[in-house]
Each structure stands twice: as C-alpha cells, then as structure tokens.
Structure 1
C-alpha cells in the first residue's frame, strides 16, 4: 500500500515537473524564439511629417543706385532696412511662400559696376564683386536716365542672381521713403516671379500629389514632360545610320560632350549626378514609313506618327541594367539616300524648324539630313556632323526633360541670353526649389506608407538597419524643411536628397519581406500539430491530480462531519 502511494506521488511530481518546465521554461522560450524582432521607430515624428508645413523663404536685396532716391530719402534709409513680406499660401500645394526683402544703397564698387557700358558687363562685374548664395536675389534700382537698358526695357534679368530695375523719375518726387518702397514693391514682385520659385514650377513638381487647376495648363504639360526627381540620370547619345553603304557618318561626340554638355551638367551637379555615354547603330530604322510630300518636295513625318517611332528604336538601344537611374535618350537619325531629305511636320503641316521632337520622360530625336552629299552614283560619302547645331537642339531638350521650363517674360523685360553653361544661376535656383519640394514630398510619402504597412502587419521584421534608415529619413526631412524655411536652398536640397535615399533604402530593404506573407493563422497551423500531442498527456495528468486533490478534500471534510 505504501509502495502504491509512493508511486502515485512520484507520478504527480513528474506531471507537475513537466508542466512547470513547459509553463516556466518551454513556453517563454517558444515565445522568445518565435517573436518577430521589431526595432523602435519614431512613429510620433512620422505622423507629424504628414502635417509638415513647408515654408519657402527667399532673401531679396533691393539696392538703390545713385540718383534713384532724394537726399532726404537716402538719409532715412539705414544701411540695412528689412521688411518681411507677409506669407502667401498656395491654395493648390498648401505651401507658404515668403520673401524677406532688405533695402540699402549701392556701395562705391557697385556704383562703378553700374557705370559699365552694357548690362551684361554690369552683371559680370557684380558677380565678380560678390557671389549671391543659392536662392537669393539682388535687384539694383537704377535711375530712368541710365543708359544700361534700352528705352523700351524696364527690367534686365542677368545670367546670375541679379536684375536691373529702371524706376520712373516721378516715383521719388514729394514722397516719403515708405511710399517709395510701397510703389516699388509691385515691380520687385514681377522680378521675383521670373527669377525665384514660382507656382507653376512647384505644382508641376507635385503634379502627382495635387490636383492642378483648369487654369494652369502649362503646369500640366511641364509635369508630363519632366523626369521625376532622381539622385542620378544616365544620358545616352545615339547615332542611327540606317544605310552605311550610302554614307559614312562621323560625329565628334567626345568633343561635343566636353564643349557643350559637360558645362551644363557641372552646373546641375547640386541637383543630381549624371553619366554620359554614346553609341553608333548601323542599319537601324525609325520603324515608320516616311511619305513623300509633293508640297514640300521631301519625305515627311507627321506629328501624329511620331509616337510610333519610340518603341521600334528603343529595342535597338539596349538597356543600362547596371544602374537603376532614369535614362535620357537622345537620338540623331541620318536618313538613307532613298528617303532624303526627311522633314518633321507639326500639326499645322508646317516644317519643324529644328527637325526634331522630344518624347516626355524619355528623350529626344533629331533628323539630320545630309541630302546633297551624295554623288551621282550614290557612293558612300564621308560626312562630318555639325555638332554645334545638333547639341543646341539636344541641350534644349535636355533642359525641358530635367524641368528647366521655357520662360515667357512679362512686357518690358529683357532676359539675358544663356552663357556657355547653358543655364542661368536663377534658373538653377528655380529647379533646386522645385526638386527640393518634390524630394521632401516623395520621402514623406515613402516613410509614412512604410510606417502604415509596418503598423498593419505585425509579422514584418524591423531590424536595426531599417530602423536606422527610417530615423535618418525623418531627421533629414526635418532638417530639409528647416533649411527651406531659413532660405538655405543648397542645404535644403542636400538634406532632401539624403532623405530620399534613406527612405528608399528602408522601404525596399529585403528583410522586410521575410515574414510579409506569414500571418498568424499559418503560424498556429504549423505549431499546433507539434505541441498538441505533447500537451495532452501533461494536461490529463494535471486534471487527474486536481481531481484526486479534490476527492481527498471531500474525504477529509466527510470525516470531520
């Protein structure tokens, strides 16, 4: 009898031991080993990004030359008289535009520069004296008697961040300084609309996030044409010679890139990184049949057929698989002898002056006619391409595709022609403004979308690298917005580019896909067949033990009664 009691007690202790091991050791260890690791993310700051209010600030300096103010007015203007213009809220983008205007008189060296024979020389001299930082502008107010500007011009916009503004002599007569500044303000605003950030540029950059108003067709066209912001771009120039037997074509692309393209890309280096390559493709046709037009005595391509050119040609161009950056294709097509000359017609059936066209977010194609180089027997002729003519067209298309939109200046405005770089400083600033806003919006969308995904799917692993990239993206976004508000355009653009890279690294991290399609019901379906057979005997033993204890308690209670 005693042996049976000992055996029963031993069984009870064994059952309790197994249960204790399972409950206090096995189950916690199972939870620990099967729990998805999720590093900490700054969710509060990410939620605040969705309500981030961007303020675009620009510093504007208005400098009065000798003869534009009366002696009394000049005494009242301090060395630096500041006026922070009221904020302007863009109804479509919900952005705030702000200009901080400072007024002063010209220095002696600036007066010497304003006495140059031409406005272009004045622009260069002012740039030599001091270079204005990115995003800022200097407007020099010159008297009506100045010979720098023609009589039919009131405003000259230079290649740098400088403008000349002619004022009426009656503006200063009998007026206080505040009245003069108030009368000058509308003219300065017109200059800012040309040289600083504009509504059209910003809405074009944010076209996939805001609904453009019906009254802004230009913004819609610009947004469809321009490549979206990217850390880098690949530029490929291709020469298409469909019939090498008819002519041997040579183009000095290396020299053309060095002379025409590289100065522009160097100036655009703050916006993105660029790589350039070229290729020559023989026996490559456009893919559509040109028709002979008796009215023009030439073969023609109509505007309606141009959309069918891209796909057949693109198959021969090859792909840049080594990079994920967008590719800008520029094709120079030399027609064969049987289809020369070849001209592109617009929708009005008129010849396109450049004999070229561009495809939005793809590139451009130019038809280069060599008609007249053929001999009587149409033997092969050596033809040197006029690279200056070709690159003038391609650079114009490149500007459009990158977001440097053509400008229609207001009446009585004179815009300086482009210099050797092919891009004015203020045009670069306009592009930097729009790209900064676009980068911030894109990075914000990426990070908030990632946070929502991680919040909804608890099985996704969040390792330390992803958490670090998310934190970096949030921090650089906040810094970009702060620098944008402070008017530090160069720093704002750099931080926005870093935010883009960090947000994309976090969003496309391979570790996020490890348990993306492994929900909880599948987890239980795997573990229940493993633990159930082991748990049933332990559970039954515990139930038997509890039943015996309950029975013993009843027996003791019966004996007492």
Structure 2
C-alpha cells in the first residue's frame, strides 16, 4: 500500500511540474534582444544628443556680464565722495590788486575756520583770476561786490532778490594792511556768506547722512557728523518736514491747473495769460532740473464731498471758515476730475476754488489764510471774487475771471510749486535758491542712481535664475559712466554739468533695474518649474528609465556569467 501511495504522489508531482514549466515564456532570441537594446539605445540617443541640447538651448537664460564689484563700490560710497565746492567771485573795482588779494586771503582763512562740513565749502576767487581761467570753469555760485562808502562806521550788505549778487558796503578804513592776518571786514563777509548758505549746508548734511555713500564718510569724527550736530533742532525739523512734503524727483512733471466752482459761474478764466506771466518763466528756469507740461480745466457744479464738514459762519468777522483739521478732506476726489498721473511723470495739481456767493468770503479759520499745500500732491487757493447782481434780490459770481483777478492765486501757485519741488526757503534771492536746488538735485540723483546700482548687483547675485539681457548691461555701463562724470563735475564745481550727468544716470539706472524680462522672472521660483515639467516628463520618463535599468541589469548579469 505504501509503495502504491508513493507512486501516486510522485506521479501527481510530475503532473503539476509539467504545467508550470510550460507556463514560462520561451527564451529570447539573440536578434530580439539586440532589437530591444537598439530601440532603448535609439530613444536615449535622441534624448541625449537631440532633445537635451534643444531643451538646453531653448530654455537657457542669458545673463550678460555686469561689473558687480564696481556697482557695489558705487553703492557703498567707495567710488565717489560727493563734494560741493561753491565758487564765490570777488568783484573789487575800487581796490588795488594787492589789497584785494590780501582781503580775499584773510576772508578765505576765516571761512575755513568757521566751516566744519568739508563736503560743502566756499572757494573765493577774484573776478580777474576767473576771467583768465579755461573755458570749463566752475559755476559761479555768488558774486560779492565790494563798494566803499566813506559815511559808514561798519559794513553792511544787500542781496539782490533777482540776481546772485551780494553788495557789501564798507568803510575804507577797514581794508586790512598787507601784514595783517585778521580784519573786521573779512570776518563780516565770512559771516554773511555762512549765513546765506547755512540752509543749503544743512540740507546737504541731512542728505548725505541718510545715504550709504554719505554714511561711508559719516563716522563720529567725520565732518558730516560734526555738521549734523551743529544744525539746530528747529532747522533739522524744518528740513525734514519740507523734504517729506516735496515731490519725489521725476524727469517730467505735469502741472494741472483746475478751476472749480459749486455753481455755473465763473465758467471761464484768462488762464493762458496767467500761466505765461507767472508759471512759464519759472518753468523755464527749472528746465535744467526737470521737464514740465501744463494742462488746464474748468469744472462747474463741483460740490464738496458729503463726508466733508461744511463751512461754518463766523458772526464776529462775517466770514465763512474751514477748520484746519478738515482741509485734508477738502478735495472731493470721488467726483472732481483730478487725474493722479498723466503719462509717465507725476501730476502736481493746483486747485483754484471759487465758493458760492452764499458762502463767500471763505477762509481757513486758523490764520484766515486762503491757500494751503497738500504734501506730495499740489496746492489749493480759495478765490473770493466780488459778487455781481444777477437779479433784483440775488447776487452771483462773475462769469469770467480776468488776468488781474488771477494774480494773487498764481503768485501763490508759483511759491507752492517751488516748495513742492524742494526749493529751500533761504536766501531771499530766487536765483540763489534755484542754484541750491540744482545742487540738491544733483546730489540726490547721484546717490539714488548709485543706490540702484547696488540693489541691482545684490539682486542678480541672489537670484541666479533671472535673465540679464544685453540692454541691462548697456544701461548699467551708461549709468556708471555718467555717475563718474557727475562726480568729477561736482569736484570741479560745475553743478549744471553734474546735474545733467546725474539725470541721465538716474534714468538709465531705473531702466536697468525695472527691465520687464527681469521683473517677470523674479517671482518664478524653482518649485514652479518642477510643477510644469513633472506632468509632462513623468509619463514619458518612467518607461524609458525602467527600460534602461533593465538593459543595464541584463548586461551586468551577462558579464558576470561570462566571467564565472
């Protein structure tokens, strides 16, 4: 029985082993293996020698070479130390050459002893010496004309409000002898010059101390720091407030003059005559700093905003008043057609508001003023024209505003424009103040363009995946070239040339930093690339990689079998 049972088990085992052997695939033929190897090799050859180069070429990012270290040096103040040597011309028609040179030498020593801010200093030169210089001479900041008067006991000065000439009247007895090293006249002249340029010096110290280029030389023992400490707190606060109120520099400003009235009159005004008389001359002298365009409009039935507190009537003075805290809501931005920007540059708005006869005269309660400045926006002037009878019982505004009625408003607008552009308040001479504004703009543009170069250099180093087109490299090269020219012009005292170079440097720096192709790549991280490529390459790549692994494993196994 046991023998029969063993035979049956062996027969069953043989029967079950036969089907398992028959279920195995037949061994591959050599030509099939070679065909599969050729297919896999062909796919990978196409990927490596055709697909990958095409992908690399079409997706590679072009990065033009930038002078990174030079850009960082400009931003850090290592390439240029801004200085402002102001040339003061001495006109001494009644003095002999030796006495004039002696007086100039003593005055220069006195000025040097008084000055603690080496970046801003005054250089005195005789008018005859200046005439003998080369064509590219320094700009004359001020002309001091010395005039002798016998009836004076002490010197006095008079600054012409329309020129850059300071007349100094002195008694002839105060001319220093050749052997003297001190003179009351030289001390007086030095004190007057220091007073005339005190605000400009304070502004320059403030600008340099708040910038990396200025901070590079603004150590606790540096002249910049000493000049900052010598500025009175009142003057420092006034400068800070005025700089915050002024507009940011732009290559082009749009001046918009608007007439608003809550009724139907006045419906016209002599705006062309007023602009030609009071605005165009100012725009012309400001043309080296910025370009200006002028637009005008008339808006009738311009009512106050519903959220604005209405004017209140003052019984004692019989006037309508606006509270100073409500002036910020005076402009009805929701309904008044005031464009915040026209074109590429910012708009400076000037509002001439003619109140209704029922609310006239309209004044500001504090100080009874009729005008105010809105920081970094524009100015407002309230015009209260005399009412005219419209019927037997009512009066109304005149239908037309002539040029003489617009004179107070446009005189105010011209002063507001200067304030909004950052013009200093002193001295009283407008040409001197405009020259100061030229130097201020040259300094701020030089510092701004240098800072932009540093920001661009750090950006390109921190984001290696963003492209750098050839236009950016060209703009950077132009910026650095004009920065160098501006710095050289500052050292030579040619501030108009420095401003012209600084304007080009600022424009090119902004163009390079805000290049469209670069800005688009700044916000495209590598995770987004993975999210784009993975759904496309995953289904194709998995079979190719598995086939390659299988072929590599087969080759390795065959190689081991041949060696064994």
TM superposition score category, shorter chain reference: 0.7 to 0.9
Residues 1:145 and 1:54: Cα distance change in structure 2 (over 3 Å): farther
Give, in whole Å, the separation in 2 of the partners of 1:188 and 1:141: 13
SS at match of 1:358: strand
Listed as ranges, the matches of 1:333-344 within 5 Å are: 333-344=353-364
Listed one character per residue, the Cα deviations across residues 377-424 of structure 1 (whole Å, up to 9, x for unaligned) are 2255555441222222221222211222322x5xxxxx56xxxxxx42
SS at match of 2:238: helix
CA contact 1:484–1:492 (8 Å) conserved in 2: yes
Shift of 1:33: 2.4
CA contact 1:203–1:219 (8 Å) conserved in 2: no
Instruction: Say yes or no: does 1:278 pair with 2:293.
Output: no
Q: 1:55 aligns with which of 71, 76, 82?
A: 82
Give, in whole Å, the separation in 2 of the partners of 1:241 and 1:307: 18
Give, in whole Å, the separation in 2 of the partners of 1:513 and 1:55: 31
CA contact 1:171–1:180 (8 Å) conserved in 2: no
Shift of 1:330: 1.5
Partner of 2:16: none
Shift of 1:267: 0.9
Shift of 1:206: 7.3
Instruction: Say yes or no: does 1:475 pair with 2:481.
Output: yes
Partner of 1:230: 250
Q: 2:421 aligns with which of 399, 402, 414?
A: 402
SS at match of 1:40: coil
Cα RMSD, aligned residues only: 4.0
Give, in whole Å, the separation in 1 of the partners of 2:523 and 2:88: 58
Residues 1:323 and 1:555: Cα distance change in structure 2 (over 3 Å): closer
Residues 1:160 and 1:218: Cα distance change in structure 2 (over 3 Å): same
Structure showing greater radius of gyration is 2
Q: 1:217 aligns with which of 216, 237, 249?
A: 237
Residues 1:270 and 1:7: Cα distance change in structure 2 (over 3 Å): same
CA contact 2:86–2:122 (8 Å) conserved in 1: yes
Partner of 2:218: none
Listed as ranges, the matches of 1:443-522 within 5 Å are: 443-522=449-528
Instruction: Say yes or no: does 1:262 pair with 2:280.
Output: yes
Instruction: Say yes or no: does 1:294 pair with 2:315.
Output: yes
Partner of 2:372: 357
Extract unaligned runs of 5+ from structure 2.
1-27, 216-227
Residues 1:509 and 1:66: Cα distance change in structure 2 (over 3 Å): closer
Structure showing the higher helix proportion among its residues = 2
Give, in whole Å, the separation in 2 of the partners of 1:155 and 1:428: 19
Shift of 1:269: 0.7
Shift of 1:263: 1.0
Q: 2:124 aligns with which of 101, 117, 124?
A: 101
Listed one character per residue, the Cα deviations across residues 172-228 of structure 1 (whole Å, up to 9, x for unaligned) are 344537x25897267336425525981343367679859998451110221122111
CA contact 1:250–1:384 (8 Å) conserved in 2: yes
Residues 1:493 and 1:34: Cα distance change in structure 2 (over 3 Å): same
Q: Report the count of equivalent residues.
A: 507
CA contact 2:103–2:175 (8 Å) conserved in 1: no
Give, in whole Å, the separation in 2 of the partners of 1:160 and 1:334: 36
SS at match of 2:507: helix
Listed as ranges, the matches of 1:170-189 within 5 Å are: 170-176=173-179, 179=181, 184=186, 187-188=189-190
Shift of 1:435: 1.1
Listed one character per residue, the Cα deviations across residues 249-304 of structure 1 (whole Å, up to 9, x for unaligned) are 64211111112211111111111111112111111134441111122121112222
Give, in whole Å, the separation in 1 of the partners of 2:49 and 2:112: 69
SS at match of 2:336: helix
TM-score by length of 2: 0.77
CA contact 1:68–1:172 (8 Å) conserved in 2: no
Residues 1:557 and 1:364: Cα distance change in structure 2 (over 3 Å): closer
Extract unaligned runs of 5+ from structure 1.
110-129, 410-414, 417-422
Give, in whole Å, the separation in 1 of the partners of 2:139 and 2:177: 37
Residues 1:382 and 1:65: Cα distance change in structure 2 (over 3 Å): same
Partner of 2:168: 165
Partner of 2:92: 65
Give, in whole Å, the separation in 1 of the partners of 2:50 and 2:136: 71
Shift of 1:82: 9.5
Q: 1:29 aligns with which of 27, 39, 54?
A: 54
Shift of 1:78: 11
Shift of 1:457: 2.5
Instruction: Say yes or no: does 1:153 pair with 2:156.
Output: yes
Residues 1:435 and 1:371: Cα distance change in structure 2 (over 3 Å): same
Give, in whole Å, the separation in 2 of the partners of 1:77 and 1:153: 16
Shift of 1:317: 2.9
Residues 1:74 and 1:46: Cα distance change in structure 2 (over 3 Å): closer
Residues 1:530 and 1:182: Cα distance change in structure 2 (over 3 Å): farther
CA contact 2:155–2:170 (8 Å) conserved in 1: no
Residues 1:227 and 1:74: Cα distance change in structure 2 (over 3 Å): closer
Residues 1:295 and 1:530: Cα distance change in structure 2 (over 3 Å): same
Residues 1:68 and 1:507: Cα distance change in structure 2 (over 3 Å): same
Give, in whole Å, the separation in 1 of the partners of 2:112 and 2:142: 15
SS at match of 1:259: helix
Q: 2:393 aligns with which of 337, 358, 377?
A: 377
